C-alpha cells in the first residue's frame, strides 16, 4: 500500500477502511463475467453492449436519460452539440442520432396518450462549449418520436410562479395518469411545477428555502409518478439529491414522507413493477470523502416497501435497527450513474455522466 493511501486510511474507522480496501476493485475487464448486485437482483456487466466503432457516426459527450418505446427502440438524451438524441436497438445498435436544439439535454420522459407515444425532453439550460460553461434558461418540450415539437411549457416567470431573479434550470418531467405534467427545477430554484396536459400552469410546491429541512428539495434532480398502489392512489416522488433521499408528495403537493438512501447521491427515480430503481452519481459519506480518488457511482434497487434490496456496483445494503447504513461504491464499474432504464426482461441499461464519453452499460440479470 502506498504511503498516500495509508495516510488517508489511517484517519478512518477500522470498519470503514476494511470495507473499502476489501471491496473496491480495479476496473473490470468487460470481456469477463463480472457479476454485481445482491440477493435476487444480481447482474452480469456488459460494457460492450454498444459495439466499438459506432462513435464515428454517433459521437456523444454525456449520456443522461433513456426510455424504451413499445416497438423496443431505446431513446437516449445527451448533450453533444450535434447528437442530443440517440436511438438504439435493444442489441445496442445505434439506429440514428439527431438534435442540435437542446445543448443542455438532460431529462427524457415517455408519455402514452390514447395509445400514442410522446417524449418530454428537458433541456436544463446548463451546457459547455470548449472549456467554458454557460447558464441559460431551461425549457421543456413535448415531441413525437420523430422529433416534431408539439409544444414547449411556459417559463414559470411568465405565469407568475417565479420572480425575475429566480433561475429556471429544469432537470426532468413526470406525467400523471390524468395527463398533468410535473417539472422538477433541480438545477434552478428546486420547485416542482405542475401543468395540465395542455401546458397550462397549475401550481408549484417543494423548494429549498422557507420549508422544513426534512421536507425540502435540495437539488431536485429527478421525479416520477408512483402508481404502484394504483392510479387512484398515485403520488409524486422527487429526488433531493444533495440530501441523499427521495421525498414523497401528493399529486397536489402535500409532503408525505422521506425515503432515505444514505451515502448515495441518487438521480431520477424509475418505477418498474413494484420496484424503484435509481442511478447513483456519487458515493457521499464523510469517510469516503477523505479517500484519494474518491470512488463514484453505482445503482440501487428498492422494494415495494422502499427498502434498498440491491446496490449493483455498491456495497451490500445493511439495515441496523431499521436504518439503512451508508452505501458506497464497491466495484469500479460505473462513473457517475445517472439513469437506469429497466427492460421488459429485467435487464438494465445504465446511462453515465462524465464517464469519458462512453456509451451506456448493460446489466444482464442473472
Low-confidence ranges of the chain (pLDDT < 70): 1-32, 130, 284-295
pLDDT at position 170 is 98
Q: What are phi and psi of 56, to 5 degrees?
A: -60, -35
pLDDT at position 56 is 86
Domain ranges of the chain: 12-46+261-366
pLDDT tens digits, 101-136: 999 999 999 999 999 999 999 999 998 776 778 889
Q: What are phi and psi of 135, to 5 degrees?
A: -120, 115
Q: Going by C-beta distance under 8 Å and a sequence separation of 6 or more, which residues neighbour residue 176?
A: 182, 225, 234, 251
pLDDT tens digits, 152-179: 999 999 999 999 999 999 999 999 999 9
pTM over 0.75: yes
β-bridge mates for residue 223, sequence order: 238
Q: Going by C-beta distance under 8 Å and a sequence separation of 6 or more, which residues neighbour residue 86?
A: 58, 60, 75, 76, 78, 94, 96, 97
Chain-centroid distance of CA 271 in Å reads 12
The set of cell numbers assigned to 25 is 476493485
Amino acid at each position: 500500500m502506498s504511503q498516500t493511501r495509508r495516510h488517508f486510511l489511517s484517519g478512518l474507522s477500522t470498519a470503514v477502511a476494511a470495507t473499502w480496501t476489501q471491496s473496491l476493485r480495479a476496473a473490470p475487464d468487460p470481456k469477463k463475467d463480472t457479476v454485481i448486485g445482491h440477493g435476487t437482483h444480481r447482474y452480469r456487466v456488459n460494457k460492450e453492449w454498444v459495439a466499438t466503432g459506432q462513435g464515428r457516426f454517433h459521437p456523444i459527450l454525456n449520456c443522461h436519460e433513456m426510455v424504451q418505446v413499445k416497438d423496443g427502440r431505446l431513446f437516449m438524451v445527451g448533450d453533444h452539440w450535434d447528437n442530443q438524441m440517440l436511438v438504439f436497438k435493444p442489441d445496442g445498435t445505434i439506429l440514428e442520432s439527431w438534435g442540435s436544439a437542446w445543448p443542455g439535454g438532460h431529462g427524457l420522459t415517455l408519455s402514452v396518450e390514447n395509445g400514442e407515444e410522446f417524449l418530454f425532453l428537458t433541456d436544463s439550460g446548463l451546457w459547455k462549449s470548449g472549456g467554458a460553461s454557460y447558464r441559460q434558461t431551461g425549457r421543456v418540450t413535448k415531441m413525437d418520436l420523430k422529433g416534431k415539437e408539439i409544444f414547449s411549457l411556459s417559463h414559470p416567470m411568465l405565469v407568475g410562479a417565479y420572480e425575475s431573479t429566480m433561475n429556471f434550470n429544469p432537470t426532468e418531467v413526470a406525467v400523471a395518469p390524468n395527463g398533468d405534467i410535473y417539472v422538477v427545477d433541480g438545477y434552478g430554484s428546486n420547485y416542482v411545477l405542475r401543468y395540465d396536459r395542455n401546458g397550462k400552469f397549475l401550481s408549484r410546491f417543494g423548494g429549498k428555502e422557507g420549508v422544513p429541512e426534512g421536507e425540502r428539495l435540495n437539488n431536485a434532480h429527478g421525479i416520477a409518478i408512483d402508481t404502484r398502489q394504483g392510479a387512484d392512489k398515485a403520488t409524486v416522488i422527487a429526488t433531493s439529491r444533495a440530501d441523499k433521499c427521495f421525498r414523497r408528495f401528493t399529486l397536489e403537493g402535500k409532503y408525505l414522507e422521506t425515503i432515505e438512501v444514505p451515502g448515495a447521491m441518487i438521480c431520477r427515480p424509475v418505477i418498474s413493477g413494484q420496484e424503484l430503481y435509481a442511478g447513483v452519481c456519487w458515493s457521499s459519506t464523510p469517510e469516503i470523502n477523505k479517500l484519494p480518488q474518491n470512488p463514484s457511482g453505482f445503482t440501487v434497487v428498492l422494494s415495494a416497501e422502499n427498502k434498498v434490496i440491491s446496490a449493483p456496483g455498491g456495497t451490500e445494503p445493511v439495515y441496523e435497527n431499521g436504518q439503512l447504513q451508508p452505501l458506497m461504491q464497491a466495484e469500479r464499474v460505473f462513473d457517475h450513474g445517472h439513469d437506469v432504464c429497466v427492460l421488459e426482461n429485467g435487464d438494465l441499461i445504465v446511462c453515465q455522466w462524465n464517464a469519458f464519453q462512453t456509451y451506456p452499460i448493460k446489466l444482464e440479470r442473472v
